[in-house]
Structures are given as C-alpha cells and as structure tokens.
Amino acid sequence: MKTTISLVLGLVLVLASGSGRLILENVLCQEGRNKARHVAFGLLGFTFQMVVAAGFMWLCITLSTHLFDSTILRVIATAVFFVLGAFFVMPFVMIVLTPLMLLVSLPLDWIFPSQDSVDAKSIAWCKNCRHYKKSKEYESTLGGLWNSSVLPPLDKLPCEIRSETVAVWDAHFSLEPRVRTLFPKDCPFFERRNG
C-alpha cells in the first residue's frame, strides 16, 4: 500500500511541477490586463488535468490490485496500465470530458472577461457609419458580393453615399479577395452613427 501511495504522490508531483511551470510561464508572458484571467484558466486546466490523471492512476492501481497478489507485480502492472492507458485510453477520455471542461469554464469567462476585446460600436467601419445601408447581397457569408473579384454594381454596395465613395470601394476591390476585409478600412467619409 505504501508503494502505491508513494507512486501516486511521485506522479502527481512530477505532473504538478511541469504543469505549474507552464502556468507560471504563461502568466508571466501575458500583458498586465489579463493576468487574472490567465491565472484562473490555468488553474482550472491544471486542476482538471490532475483530477483526470489521479482518477486514471487510481483506476490502474485498483485494476492491478484485483489482478495480482504480489506487490512487485502490482507496481509493474500499474505502471504498464498507466503507460498503455496514457497512449490509448486517455485521448478518448479527454475528448469525452472536453464538453464538461467547457461547461465549467463558461462561468470563469463571465467572471474574468477578456480585456483585449473591443466593443464593436467603437470600431470605425461601415456598420457604425451614418451612411451604412444594409445589403444582404453584399454581406452574405456564402457567395456575397464582398468576395467578388470586381467592383459590384453600385446599388448593391452597403453605402448610402455611393457616388462619393466610389474611389474608396474601387481601391477596396482592387485588393485580392483573400486579403480583403468585409468593408473598406479607413474610409475618409466615415461619420459615427448616433446610438
């Protein structure tokens, strides 16, 4: 019994030192505003990995205890079960437990919101412009005119002052579709919409 306890404690210490070092490196590399968020998610991931590893180790110890009477055979069988299970069983266990991890991490996302996210209303783009006009043909995700290789008809553009912004749209559509954004950047006619 002492051997199995020391084996489990040794494994936990090895895993803890490696994972703890990764958490510390991750936190130290981050900018100041999101450190609490990274610490919270790092601790959650670390705890989740430790619980799964300890549970799996306990399962290996229990299995070897039921199969063998000799202490040496139990220790060897536990190590073999753990190594084989780490390669063949644990990937499937982690895939099955990933939705649970996501459900547990959702409240953390609300408690520690990302400080890097920008409010969409503060961005200077067409949807926040006073001259914006909704155009389903242009903005459609699949086959929308925004992905066209040539300038679409002016009446299909999502702008009410198309005649003044033709040069902006022409420059926007001169870019390759794979590097082009949905709307032109830095439009000189941009006026922030109220509300």
Q: Where are the beta strands (DSSP E) in 14-158?
A: none
**Residues in the chain with pLDDT < 50?**
none
Location of structure tokens 């996210």: 117
Residue 151 is classified by DSSP as: P
Q: Please give the Cα distance from 195 to 177 (Å, whole number).
A: 32
At residue 25, the pLDDT reads: 53
The reported pLDDT for the residue numbered 80 is 93
Q: Which amino acid is at 23?
A: I
Q: What local confidence, expressed as pLDDT, does residue 64 receive?
A: 93
pLDDT of residue 155: 86
Do the beta carbons of residue 90 and residue 60 sit within 8 Å?
no
Per-residue pLDDT reduced to its tens digit, 92-141: 888 888 888 888 888 877 877 776 655 666 666 788 888 888 888 888 87
- Per-residue confidence (pLDDT) for residue 101, from 0 to 100: 85
Q: What pLDDT score was predicted for residue 19? A: 53
